[in-house]
Structure 1
Amino acid sequence: MNNSIIVPNMVAKIEYGFLCREGEEDKDESGQLEKVGFELEAPVIEQILPPWRNLETSKDLDFEPDGLNPPKVVPREKAVLNLNVNSVHFLEEVDEAKLSNRILVLSRTNKVRSALELLRSMELSGLRPDLHACNSLLSCLLRNELVDDGLRVFEFMKTEKITTGHTYSLVLKAVTDAKGCDAALRMFSEMERECGVKNGFDAVVYNTMISVCGRVNNWLETLRLWRSMKENCRIGTRITYCLLVSIFVRCGQNDLALDAYGEMVQSKFEPGKDTMQAIIGACAKEGKWDFALSIFQSMLKKGLKPNAIACNAVINSLGKAGEIKLAFRVFDVMKSLGHLPDTYTWNALLGALYRANLHDDALRLFERIKQDQDSELNLHLYNIALISCSKLGLWERAVQLLWQMEANGMSISAASYNLVINACETARKPDVAVQVYEHMVHLKCIPDTFTHLSLIRVCIWGSLWNEVEEILNQAAPDASLYNAAIQGMCLRGKIDTAKKLYAKMRNCGLQPDGKTRAMMLQNLRKDSVKHKYRPPSRHKRRTRLSSLSL
């Protein structure tokens, strides 16, 4: 065996079945065999190893001489799946750098079995591969979806203390893909409890785990990783903050997203287009319209083209803040960028005009949207127009819009009918309001409390007392309805009818509010005073005067 050293670049193979099991040692064997880990007998070696004169030289470690017993021919799929190393090499080369380079080459060419056999042979020979070779082999195994073999190589690297952040990232990504995010999080938690391992974590490892949490929208674990990263004195990268902003915005944690963005800018990292658009959305939800507008302007200065969603978010934020002119300026910029306004755009603009009490402008914009063939009107846009009609008392316009909605086949809710009835109430049109109510009931649209309240008010104003009582009889017992009817009747001088309704209300177990109770007490006091003092008749007064004169 020693003479084999004179043959250059020679490797002989022995079946792995002759290796002793882990933890077993044969004290009767020679020290050399015990050190290598073999449990062989001399006759067996003679049967396996051919005469050295029959060996041919080759620079390729995968070359097997004809004299050796060839391994059984196994299909590639079966060989790849069965990666328990069944043979090791008697290494002629003992240079760790050269052997590590050979593992590197084998790994890059996806020769998985040969690379593992060489690694095992080096381990048994007391040789140590370098970090680059082990990482390359680990990447090769995981790339071929051999996670279990990769984890065994990973444990070997941890034992030899030749791991880096890249090693941990490779393993955590593979575990995530093969076993799920929870398994990767558990594995990472176990690593964190090992001080030596945790100190080897770099920003890339934390970025990997933050990305894993982002897959399942686990913002709590993301926040913990962010804090752990700071505690471990690791400085985040641009990718770190981009991931944080994206995850926090997606999970609705806008304050945390703004904190991450502020720390990113403070660290002088240049935010990307997606990050800036995400922050615009977060600012819009938090009502920070000035910050959203500044980021929007910064994107334009950098030559970045905000998407339609970001433009709509800025318009909506400005509209809620009452900045109507700025909202329409952003709308003009949006069109100049080539974005077509959609339903969200019109909702934001109409809502801004309504909140600013510019109801006429809102109706004009609505007509403009109707004339635009590319725009699609939805129920919300019609409702905003109906609200404007209600505020202005344009009952005819409101009824016309209601018929258009029904003609377009929209599913009209009670809220839309309520707005039309409110417009009739503002315009003092009780007869029209009653007709809209009857039409609503005919279409089997269930009226709610707001429908009955508006209808009761407009009927009281129009002195439709029978309709008021009929509405109260049809509606479910509701204190607000009785309060509105009693108060309206008292103000219109229908005291007796109000008293009857008040008694009926108390019999139903409903509690009147303070205004209703005060009105009823006031009218009851007047009646009691009238009954307590009755002025004498003219005949009695004359009799009394004559008696006094006498």
Structure 2
Amino acid sequence: MLNQLLVKPAQRNLNTSRFRLPLATLTTVPESPPPPIDATVAKLVLESDPKTLSQTLSNPTFQWTPLLVDNILKRLWNHGPKALQFFKHLDRHPTYIHSISSFEHAVDIAARLREYNTAWALMGRMRALRLGPTPKTFAILAERYATGGKAHKAVKVFLSMHEHGCHQDLNSFNTILDVLCKTKRVEMANNLFKTLRGRFKCDSVSYNIMANGWCLIKRTPMALQVLKEMVERGVDPTMVTYNTLLKGYFRCGQLNEAWEFFLEMKKRKCEIDVVTYTTMVHGFGVAGEVKRSKRVFDAMVKEGLVPSVATYNALIQVLCKKDSVQNALLVFDEMVGKGCVPNLTTYNVVIRGLCHSGEIERGVEFMKRMEENGCMPSVQTYNVVIRYYCDEGELEKGLELFEKMGNGTCLPNLDTYNILISAMFVRKKSEDLVLAGKLLIEMVGRGFLPRKFTFNRVLNGLVLTGNREFANEILRMQSRSGRVLRHVKL
């Protein structure tokens, strides 16, 4: 049904694949091993008719457990409506009862879709089942309000916790401070901190959060003021405090100040750790001081500290960006040789570096290598390769990877759709712009809200290439989503 809806009315009787570009033959994708059970169920949910989904999920062959349900919700993360559909249908299962963690995943998904009433209803359901809501549930909702530009609502969520049977404590206070700081509402966090710090008897974690907030918005003098206030109030600074300030200097490009601060840490006999050195390696490297970055790395090893995965990742990223990907690969091999297992970030950094240096196929080989080593590519991994394929004009290869994402193992996100839609405008062909329209419809159906610019661009492109009827179909869809278009002449 979805495929039929994505094809223009005059073409609906044709046997077409989901997102095929004409005039090209896609390469054969090698067979993959059978997907895990959570990926299989996720694919089943994606392809099921909502009217029969409850019956499908009641099949006795499915042995539902909280872990399985949580993993399926994670698989469906980038298709919010289907994820909530799955959760709600399973909530009516005759024997299975959702766990707290599954409810919290559902609350998170609903709030991400800005369906706040649904999120609150789910929290009400949790309370009815005596499963919460927990402090984590409120933290999730507060974070979604804050990232959605509703910081005041986030604070209200925190202040109203007791009204829903969940009392505030120091941990929940630190959480709301962290949420506000990470969404750059540091002034608001600071006001809340000053008002309530006595009530919650703030600890080093509270002060570290505030120091990090000021560093995030590049106001290191204010972060230093937090350090001073900590000492005055009898709260001992921790290595997290010092490392936060060190990172703050690098973020502001204050390399000399960062080095002097590091030397001061040594002078005061702070127990300098791997995080400190990782911060230095990354900070100097990103600023273009590659030799200095390497010297710090070597000094760390000489002092007997074993580099962590994060340290290697920092150095590899620096070499990819500021030196050469070949040198980065030497460090990668050294890392593996010393028994340090690369993680998702390591592979993503290397793949990005290879693609950036024009070695896209080698980057794809690294994707296969990571899978063989039990590290599954993330949506960010796919997005990097798809973006570089599209930049090189290899649209068919980009779409081939996009098709692979649709099997329930790693669904595309908003960035994936934006990358592909933008790529459809390079050749300015009618069929490419029709495909852009289909992608736009699918992304909206998956709960993503395109920017007005994206709507306008696709509509204008369709009109200019003679696809006025399809443009009208998208315009009707846009009206239902509540967007107001500008400068569109149909």
Which of 1 and 2 has greater Rg?
1
If asked which structure has higher relative contact order (CA below 8 Å, sep 6+), I would say 2
Q: TM-score, normalised on structure 2? A: 0.45
Q: TM-score, normalised on structure 1? A: 0.41
